[in-house]
Amino acid sequence: MRIAKPNTCFWQGSKACAEGAITAGCRFFAGYPITPASEIAEHMARRLPQVGGIAIQMEDEMASIGAIIGASWAGTKAMTATSGPGFSLMQEFIGYAFMTETPCVIVNAQRAGPSTGQATKCGQGDVMQSRWGTHGDYSAIVLSPNSVQEMFTLTVRAFNLAEKYRTPVILLSDETITHMREQITVPSVNNVEIVNRRKPRRGEKAFFGLEEIPPMPAVGEGFNVAVTGSTHDEYGIRFTADPLVHIKLVKRLNSKIRNNSNEISDFEEYNIEDCQIGVISYGCTSRAIYEAVEKAESKGVKTGYIRLKTIWPFPGNVVRKMVENANKIIVPELNLGQIRYEVEKASNGLAKVIPLNKIGGGELITPEELLATILKEAKTND
C-alpha cells in the first residue's frame, strides 16, 4: 500500500488530512496526542512507514514542531497536528519557522478553549491566535476546511503554499470537521498539483534573500548554511543590532506573503453582487449557510454568502465587493467574535456587521438560528 488509490471513500476528516499530506509528499510527522487531533497522529504513525516516511511521538508540542522544522531542513516535507493547548505551546517555533523560512504544515483542530476548556467539544476560538500568536511582525497563511474533502485538498494546498513561499502554513480545522466522516473522492496522485521548494544551484550562497523567495538547500547537500532565528542577512549571517538588515529581512518575509495575497486567498461565494443580507463564515459554522440562505431566499430575502477557505490573508477585496450591495453582514462564529472585526474593517462602515456567536458544549450554530437572524435583520432598518 502506497499513496491512497483514487476512489470514493467514507473517511474521517483526520484521515483525509493525513492522506492529503502523504499525497502532497509529506514524509515526516511529529506530534503529541491531544483531542481532537490524535487521530491524525495515529493515521500518520500507521501510514508513513508504508511510504518510506517517519512518524514520531515527541515529548510535547514544542518538541514536535521543533522536529518538523529540523526535518524540513533535512529536505523532507513535514507536518504536525495539535489542538488549542498544543498550538499555544507551538507559537514560539512558528515564529522561528517564519523567520528561518522553513516550509512546514501545522494542523490545529480547534476545540473549546481557553486553556484545557472542553477538550472534546468544538470551538473556533483560535482564529486570531492563528494570525497573531507568535511575537514580532509577521504574516500568516491560514487555511480553513469545511468538509472531509477539503481536509484532503486543503492539506495538499497547505504543503504547496508552504513550499512555494517557504513559510509555515496553518491548517485551521475544528473538532467537527476533523472528527466527522463523509464521503470523499480521492484523486489520482497524477491529477494533484504538487509544488516542491526551489533548490539552489551549485555554488549559490544566498538562501535568505536577494530574491523574494530564495532557494532552500537541505542539510548534507554540500552547501554552507547557517539557520538562525536571529536577524540575518542574505547569507544567514547574524546582524543583531543593524537596523537596515532587520528592516530588509522582516519586510521581505512579510511582503512575500502580502504581495501575493490575491493568489493565496481562496473562498466560495454566492450571490454577493445582488444581496441585501450577506453572511461570512468559515469551517464548521459555514455548514449552516447553505440551508439558511436557501430558506431565506425562498422567503424573498436577497441573501448571499462568502465562505472563507483561507482566513489569512483575509480576502478583504471580496468583502468590499459584497458591501457595494449588502447593507448588513452576519458573521456566525463559534467564539465570542473574532473574524467579525476583520469584516468590519473591510466593509469600512458601508454595511452593518452583525455577529452571531455561540460557545460551549460543542454545539454548532444551526441553520434555524442563522435563518432567524437573517430574517430579523432583513425586517429591521437600522
Residues of this chain that interact with other proteins (CB under 8 A) are 8-10, 35, 118-120, 176, 179-183, 284, 287-291, 362, 364, 366-368
Which is closer to other proteins, CB of 264 or CB of 331?
331
CB of 118 to other proteins, least distance (A): 8
Which is closer to other proteins, CB of 77 or CB of 121?
121
Q: What is the 3-state secondary structure (H, E, C) of the chain?
A: CCCCCCEEEEEEHHHHHHHHHHHHCEEEEEECCCCCCHHHHHHHHHHHHHHCCEEEECCCHHHHHHHHHHHHHCCCEEEEEECHHHHHHCHHHHHHHHHCCCCEEEEEEEEECCCCCEEEEECCCCHHHHHHCCCCCCCCEEECCCCHHHHHHHHHHHHHHHHHHCCEEEEEEEHHHHHCEEEEEECCHHHCCCCCCCCCCCCCCCCCCCCCCCCCCCCCCCCCCCCCCCCECCCCCECCCCHHHHHHHHHHHHHHHHCCHHHHCCEEEECHHHCCEEEEEEHHHHHHHHHHHHHHHHCCCCEEEEEECEEECCCHHHHHHHCCCCCEEEEEECCCCCHHHHHHHHHCCCCEEEEEECCCCCCCCCHHHHHHHHHHHHHCCC
CB of 119 to other proteins, least distance (A): 5
CB of 296 to other proteins, least distance (A): 14
Which is closer to other proteins, CB of 86 or CB of 103?
86
Which residue's C-alpha cell is 476533523?
A: 178
CB of 8 to other proteins, least distance (A): 7
Which is closer to other proteins, CB of 136 or CB of 361?
361
Which is closer to other proteins, CB of 126 or CB of 175?
175
CB of 320 to other proteins, least distance (A): 27
Buried b (16+ CB within 10 A) or exposed e, 261-289: beebbebebbbbeebbbbbbbbbbbbbbb
Q: Provide the grid cell at 131.
A: 494570525
- The size of the chain, in residues, is 382
Q: Provide the grid cell at 121.
A: 467539544
Which is closer to other proteins, CB of 288 or CB of 351?
288
Which is closer to other proteins, CB of 39 or CB of 101?
39
Report yes or no: 246 and 231 within 8 Å, Cβ to Cβ: yes
CB of 87 to other proteins, least distance (A): 18
CB of 16 to other proteins, least distance (A): 13
Which is closer to other proteins, CB of 44 or CB of 284?
284
CB of 299 to other proteins, least distance (A): 17
Which is closer to other proteins, CB of 234 or CB of 369?
369
Q: Provide the grid cell at 59.
A: 515529548
Report yes or no: 333 and 166 within 8 Å, Cβ to Cβ: no
Which is closer to other proteins, CB of 1 or CB of 241?
1
CB of 150 to other proteins, least distance (A): 13
CB of 3 to other proteins, least distance (A): 19
Alpha-carbon span 279 to 329, nearest angstrom: 5
